[in-house]
Amino acid sequence: MIRFLTAGESHGKALTVIVEGFPSNFVLTEQYINQHLQRRQLGYGRGGRMKIETDTAEILSGVRFEKTLGTPVSIQIKNNDWVNWTDKMTAGKKKGKIEKITVPRPGHADLVGVTKYNFDDIRNSIERSSARETAARVAAGSVARRFLEEFGIFVGSFVESIGNVYPDENFLTELLSNKIAAKFNAWRLAEKADKSAVRVLEKRQEEKIIELIKKIKKKGDTLGGTIVTVATGVPVGLGSFVHYDRRLDTDIAAAIMSINAVKAVEIGSGFTSAESFGSESHDEIVIRRGAITRKSNRAGGIEGGISTGLPIVVRSAMKPIATLMSPIETIDLSKYKKVMARRERSDFVAVPACAVISESMLALVLAKHFLLKFGGDSIEETKDNFNSYIRKLDKRIKKNFKTGK
Ligand code: EPS
């Protein structure tokens, strides 16, 4: 069973993550993790922090000579900014007077955080609720995606919209129509998106979005957007319908929704299907080149909580970042009086980064369900189990239904 736990404050010494439950003997390097950490740092519209940090993974345990040991993998990512925060964030004694934050930002965890944890300084709440923590999730997700690659499973994503700027031709439509090539690899999609400053697939859309970001930056405002996250090569049979908590879609929705600022998650044609006829909503089952498949993929690769073998397609919505340079109304908790929200260094747009984090969370969920089904303490054992299942799939159906007799 895959488990992972992150630790670390945004301006503390470091972020740490322990990932556990992966088999031994598959290749895992710091360079591989760093590649994904760097992807998370990109995107036009990020704030000053990303200029300070060069997120770099240090593997502390669980790997020997570039191969996993089957033991907990622990990874550390140092915060470069720590040197500027040592006095303000020390675990030791307070030295001198440290200014307290008393004005909560609407939409952030500031007010609920101090209320729940009984703090007299909003800083205590900001530090862990910051999206900085997602760097540790991407490190954990890199272990999962490296593992999945061993089985030809790839994850990728693209930004569908920022603000209200959508593409002329939405690749999501193509994904849901199942008209994409059988060999389509979600990582290629990610690589294509990575070439864009805002991780979109259309040049014209990219230009419009950059214009829009320039405009809102001047006003001190922020923007959200929508993201499409895809996994390809997922075999039929991950997840289950037998209990609510064994459904693959349950775990995917929770994992994507857990990402800071994500407010909606949709699988396949999701909300659109609610306003369509049944005859237009489902994927007709057909035989192509001797194999069972679906005409379309409106289900987004999941039926009855179980993967169908078609690409897993997840769409999510990220709200605009809650830290605004042109602040909105709030109160000062030390005066119980109306004030305008505090300004704080932040991103104007973080949708491209959110897409990379979504890939990581999807990879972790898929790896969990993959290992629940196929098990194995070493990658060799997992491969044996996987291959025996895959090889016999069609044969089993034909035998059970006495096809051709
Ligand atoms: C982030 C680090 C943070 C923010 C951002 C994401 O660093 P700092 O607070 O020092 O600027 O840039 O976090 C938020 C938008 C937020 O609201 O917490 C990161 O590493 O991704």
Q: Can you give the pTM of this predicted structure?
A: 0.97
HSE, CB side, 13 Å, CA atoms: give it for residue 313. Answer: 22
Q: What is the pLDDT of residues 238-268, one digit of tens each?
A: 999 999 999 999 999 999 999 999 999 999 9
Give the dihedral of Cα atoms 324, 326, 328, 329; nearest 10 deg: 120
How far apart are the C-alpha atoms of 279 and 282, rounded to whole Å? 6
Spell out the domains of the chain, with CATH numbers in brackets.
Answer: 3-90+102-385 (3.60.150.10)
Contact present, 363 and 238 (Cβ < 8 Å): no
State whether residue 274 is helix, strand or coil: coil
State whether residue 289 is helix, strand or coil: coil
- Give the distance (Å) from ligand 1 centre to CA of residue 164: 23
- Give the distance (Å) from ligand 1 centre to CA of residue 169: 32
Q: What is the pLDDT of residues 138-185, one digit of tens each?
A: 999 999 999 999 999 999 999 999 999 999 999 999 999 998 887 899
Which atom number of ligand 1 is nearest to the Cα of residue 55?
20
Contact present, 12 and 89 (Cβ < 8 Å): yes
Angle between helices 351-374 and 134-149 (to 10 degrees): 50
- Give the distance (Å) from ligand 1 centre to CA of residue 155: 25
- Give the distance (Å) from ligand 1 centre to CA of residue 210: 20
Q: What is the pLDDT of residues 24-68, one digit of tens each?
A: 999 999 999 999 999 999 999 999 999 999 999 999 999 999 999
Q: For a substitution probing ligand 1, which of 51, 125, 126, 347 has the most ligand atoms within 8 Å of its CB? A: 347
Rg of the Cα atoms in the chain: 23
Which one, of 352, 113, 134, lies nearest residue 223 by Cα?
A: 352
How far apart are the C-alpha atoms of 189 and 359, rounded to whole Å? 12
Band (pLDDT 50/70/90 cuts) for residue 405 is low
- What residue's CA is closest to ligand 1, atom 2? 132
How far apart are the C-alpha atoms of 194 and 186, rounded to whole Å? 12
Contact present, 184 and 311 (Cβ < 8 Å): yes
CA 160 to chain centre: 15
Q: Got the DSSP string for 97-151?
A: --PPP--PPTTSSHHHHHHHHT-S-THHHHHHHSGGGHHHHHHHHHHHHHHHHTT
